[in-house]
Amino acid sequence: NKILEKIGEFGIVPVVKIEKAEDALPLGKALIDGDLPIAEITFRTSAAEESIKSLTKELPTLLVGAGTVLTIEQVKEAVSAGAKFIVSPGFNPKVVDYCIENSIPVTPGINNPTQIEMALERGIEVVKYFPAEASGGLPLLKSMSAPYTGIKFIPTGGINQNNLCSYLSDNKVLACGGSWMVK
């Protein structure tokens, strides 16, 4: 998947909560100027859909995805607005299956082996490890992922400039998500 390859090249996914849609473009430009042309816009505010729409229209070099996606309706809104990938905090089979059936790159949240197996059963190669630090951090990720080959993780939740390099040094980590660089 080319989207996931791009995410792996960047190594970091800025997780962005935008309160006002007019703040989206300056933020997107700053990410591009900072050589990190990617943003996961969370569906935690009413400005999410409009923010995705303006970013994808005005800044075509910015890779824009939608985060905190909880429902199929939000998937439809995000994709209609231009989101190139979907991220969810948990593993909602209905949301995941809808994305797979419609060829929409999806990274569901997991924090246990059962959820990893649910992802593998569906052919998913990348999952979000969330909430990373609260779930046990890198030690849990290493022990939990040991039996599984062919799956990569995007740890998110508690990732910051102090622990980022530790996570990225693990060969099963594709990238890390966080909000520390966009606050």
Mean pLDDT for 167-177 is: 98
Out of 3.20.20.70, 3.40.50.1820, 3.30.465.10, 3.90.1150.10, select the CATH number for domain 2-176. 3.20.20.70
Give just the sign of the alpha carbon dihedral 13, 19, 24, 30: negative
Closest CA to 123 of 105, 141, 142, 109: 105
* Residue labelled with tokens 């905190």: 68
Question: Is 128 one of the annotated active-site residues of the chain?
Answer: yes
Does the structure show a pLDDT above 90 at 64?
A: yes
**Domain boundaries, given as residue ranges, for the chain:** 2-176
Which pLDDT value is given to residue 11?
A: 98
Closest CA to 15 of 67, 81, 58, 56: 67
Which pLDDT value is given to residue 182?
A: 87
Question: Is 19 one of the annotated active-site residues of the chain?
Answer: no
Mean pLDDT for 120-136 is: 98
Which pLDDT value is given to residue 53?
A: 99
pLDDT tens column, 102-125: 999 999 999 999 999 999 999 999
Which pLDDT value is given to residue 169?
A: 98
Closest CA to 88 of 42, 133, 51, 56: 42
pTM for this predicted structure = 0.97
pLDDT band at 183 (very low <50, low <70, confident <90, very high): confident
Q: How far apart are CA 179 and CA 16, in angstroms?
A: 6
Mean pLDDT for 58-78 is: 99
pLDDT band at 154 (very low <50, low <70, confident <90, very high): very high
Q: In the beta sheet, which residues pair with residue 154?
A: 128
Mean pLDDT for 153-170 is: 98
Peptide bond into 93 cis (omega under 30): no
Catalytic, out of 17, 40, 53, 133? 40
Q: How far apart are CA 65 and CA 13, in angstroms?
A: 10
Catalytic, out of 17, 53, 84, 128? 128
Mean pLDDT for 147-169 is: 97
Closest CA to 159 of 126, 124, 135: 135
